[in-house]
């Protein structure tokens, strides 16, 4: 099992070739985020990770983790920030628009149509009971993604400690994200500065 | 109608700037504004829209689209969505521009290396918070564990995993 886990975590270490990045079109960006948005029952983050890292290899795990860190730090919905970041990374302003609209257009339309039907038909009992099973399953997907990302940290004990501290702050002590980031990020940056230099 | 939409839009725009770590932290503020302060909907309607937003695939921020729709129809949905996403998108775009310009700079590597573990910790932390809400029964916990293992080791398509969860929900074993 251990070696299996190890092999799994090592699958995405390879760097992304510049040629791949140069050939990503607006259509591909739109499509990648459209699929992620439409599949994202119970949260789209794991699906974006799948779309751009596991499936298309546009980004390495490391780059995704850093981009995610940046997007968590900035105000606004994280997955939308991530779409803007990734779109802008490969195709500038228009790429950001392509990724943004890919992620949002279809889900917004569906949500409004459902709401329109909802006000007419009242309770969506079947959807509610399905959701009771879909959301726990989505939590499993998110956990799998989190473990993949954490695989990168095992090379550095101090990075794992930083991650553990952030986990305790958010998950167990329930501090607001901004408080946790402002407390832990400076230490983490200092450690990173020491490593890089 | 339009005035209400703009009123909501302005408030969401302000709230978007303090929505660090996603929309969840500002949901109580949105609630206070649209239910308590403005009386645009009842507590029950708000809860229903929240459930509906979660039942729809896509970002959880769809909640504001639905609130806009409830307050002022299609125009309201459009204004609310753009008001919430507008400034954060511009900010993210600006930051990513600077970021990509300094691709080889040493400070960028430091920031990347420094932020990555914080990001991973935050993902685990918010997962931990969410899982307490999502998994209220042993069956739900088992579904989470099974779906994690299913996408991880069996490499099943995640949609199959979600569908299996949905079926478990519909037949009422969760």
Predicted confidence (pLDDT) per residue in A101-145, tens digit: 999 999 999 988 888 876 655 556 777 788 889 889 999 999 988
Other CB atoms within 10 Å distance of the CB of residue B54: 19
**What confidence tens digit (pLDDT) does each residue in A71-83 have?**
988 999 999 999 9
Q: Give me the number of domains chain A comprises.
A: 1
User: Does B118 share its domain with B163?
Assistant: no
- Residue-number span of the structural domain to which B149 is assigned: 135-174
Residue A27 belongs to a domain: yes
The pLDDT of residue A46 is 93
Which domain range does residue A48 map to?
2-123
Q: What's the complex ipTM?
A: 0.90
Q: Which residue has the tokens 């699929």?
A: A35
Task: List CB contacts (< 8 A) between B143 and chain A.
Answer: 133, 136-137, 140
For residues B73, B74, B75, B77, the Cα torsion angle rounded to the nearest 10 degrees is 90
Nearest CA in chain B to A139: B144
Which residues on neighbouring strands pair with residue B20, listed in sequence order?
A: A75
**H-helix segments, B22-61:** 27-31, 43-55
The label of the residue with tokens 């521009």 reads B97
Please list every residue in chain B whose beta carbon sits closer than 8 Å to the beta carbon of residue A74.
20, 88, 91-92, 95
Whose tokens are 């209220």? That residue is B136
Q: Do B128 and A171 touch (CB under 8 A)?
A: yes
pLDDT at B23: 85
Count: domains in chain B: 3
Identify the DSSP state of A175: -
In a domain, A114, yes or no: yes
- Selected for mutation to probe chain B from A50, A75, A86, A148 (highest B CB count within 10 Å) is A75
Do residues B114 and B51 share a domain? no
Instruction: State which residues of chain B have pLDDT below 70.
Output: none
Nearest to A191 by CA among B7, B113, B58: B113
CA dist B151 and B135 (Å) reads 19
What would the two tokens of residue B34 be?
């649209």
Residue B37 to chain A, least CA–CA distance (Å): 23
Q: Are B140 and B129 a contacting pair, CB within 8 Å?
A: no
Compute the CA torsion angle A179, B28, B26, A168 (nearest 10 deg): 30
Bridge partner residues of A75 (DSSP):
B20
Please indicate, yes or no, if residue A178 is contained in any of the structural domains: no
Tens digit of pLDDT for each residue in B137-166? 999 999 999 999 998 887 788 888 999 999
Are B8 and B45 within one domain?
yes
From first to last of the 197 residues of chain A, give the pLDDT tens digit. Answer: 444 444 444 444 445 665 666 689 999 999 999 999 999 988 899 999 999 998 989 999 988 998 999 998 899 999 999 999 999 999 999 999 999 999 999 999 998 888 887 665 555 677 778 888 988 999 999 998 899 888 877 778 899 999 999 999 989 998 888 889 889 999 999 999 998 87
Does residue A156 form part of some domain? no
Q: Which of B119, B120, B14, B8 is nearest to B65 (CA)?
A: B8
């Amino acid at each position: 099992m251990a070696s299996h886990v190890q092999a799994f975590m090592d699958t995405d270490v390879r760097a992304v070739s510049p040629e791949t990045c140069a050939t990503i079109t607006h259509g591909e960006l739109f499509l990648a985020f459209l699929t992620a948005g439409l599949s994202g029952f119970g949260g789209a983050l794991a699906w974006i990770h799948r779309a751009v890292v596991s499936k298309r290899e546009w980004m390495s795990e490391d780059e995704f983790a850093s981009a995610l860190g940046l997007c968590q730090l900035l105000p606004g919905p994280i997955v939308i920030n991530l779409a803007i970041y990734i779109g802008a990374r490969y195709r500038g302003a228009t790429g950001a628009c392509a990724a943004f609209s890919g992620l949002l257009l279809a889900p917004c339309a569906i949500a409004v149509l459902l709401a329109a039907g909802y006000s007419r038909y009242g309770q969506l009992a079947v959807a509610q009971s399905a959701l009771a099973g879909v959301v726990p399953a989505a939590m499993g997907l998110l956990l799998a993604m989190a473990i993949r990302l954490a695989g990168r940290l095992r090379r550095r004990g101090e990075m794992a400690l930083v991650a553990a501290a952030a986990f305790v702050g958010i998950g167990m002590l329930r501090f607001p994200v901004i408080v946790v980031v402002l407390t832990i990020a400076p230490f983490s940056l200092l450690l990173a500065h020491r490593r890089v230099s | 109608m339009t005035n209400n939409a703009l009123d909501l839009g302005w408030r969401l725009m302000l709230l978007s700037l303090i929505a660090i770590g996603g929309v969840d932290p500002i949901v109580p503020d949105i609630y206070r504004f649209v239910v308590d302060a403005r009386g645009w909907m009842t507590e029950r309607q708000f809860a229903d829209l929240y459930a509906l937003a979660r039942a729809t695939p896509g970002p959880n921020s769809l909640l504001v689209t639905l609130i806009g729709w409830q307050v002022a129809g299609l125009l309201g949905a459009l204004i609310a969505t753009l008001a919430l996403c507008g400034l954060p998108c511009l900010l993210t775009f600006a930051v990513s521009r600077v970021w990509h310009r300094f691709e080889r700079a040493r400070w960028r590597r430091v920031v990347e290396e420094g932020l990555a573990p914080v990001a991973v910790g935050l993902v685990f932390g918010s997962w931990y918070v969410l899982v307490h809400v999502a998994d209220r029964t042993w069956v739900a916990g088992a579904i989470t564990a099974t779906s994690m293992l299913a996408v991880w080791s069996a490499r099943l398509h995640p949609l199959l995993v979600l569908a299996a969860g949905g079926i478990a929900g519909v037949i009422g074993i969760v």
